[in-house]
Amino acid sequence: MLYRAQENKKFIILNDAHESLASANLIDQHGQDKVFELTSTPSCDLLALPSVNILSLNSTEFIAWRGRIQRQKDDRLYFHADERVDAGLRRHLRIQMSFRANLYPVKGRGPRLPVVCRDISCGGIALYSVVPFHVGEVYQIALPCTEPPLLAKIEALRTISEEKRLYAFQFIDLLPQEEAMIQERIFEYDLHHPSVSSAENPKAKVL
């Protein structure tokens, strides 16, 4: 049978610890049974895992299942979905990613503030900064990690560590397609950078 990849059907395969294992395209489905075509080499034997989570990458509608890879033939994965995964998972899956960026005040005038990202999710971002932040302050951040770069609005939530000058922000007013852009980029990054040993160091090598 000749399969044809469907639009907006790029997926990431995660284990139950939410570690990225491989990427794939959904090419066919009948009810709970799905056929995927691998687009990267898996980091482990997927058949040996009792379950995996498969999440949509570039769709504005969150699509995700938890189930088991039943068999593999070359680059084809035959997957049975046991259950749907809650849509809130997309916003809470956090990836360690280090890059430099700038913040710009939303209200009034002020200098741009250089920051370094420690980790990011579709729901928020943790940033190192020499300048302290206060809860409720709103800024725009130019995200260099997306393609194309995204100008997003963020709100300061809390201080994670005064000693490390690390602060937590949440994204606000993100459009569904912008959230999908962030999700696709962070999981593709995680797939090719499975560990970031220097994530706690703001002077680490950055993108």
Q: Tell me: the pLDDT tens digits for 75-125?
A: 999 999 999 988 777 667 788 889 999 999 887 677 889 999 999 988 899
Is residue 40 within 8 A of residue 22, CB to CB? The reply is yes
Listed residue (154, 151, 207, 206) closest to 181, CA to CA: 151
Segment holding 20, helix H or strand E: strand 20-30
Q: Whole-prediction pTM value?
A: 0.71
b/e code 68-87 from CB counts within 10 Å (16+ = b):
ebeebeeeebebebeeebee
Is residue 182 within 8 A of residue 122, CB to CB? The reply is yes
What percent of the chain shows pLDDT beyond 70? 87
Listed residue (94, 27, 24, 29) closest to 52, CA to CA: 24
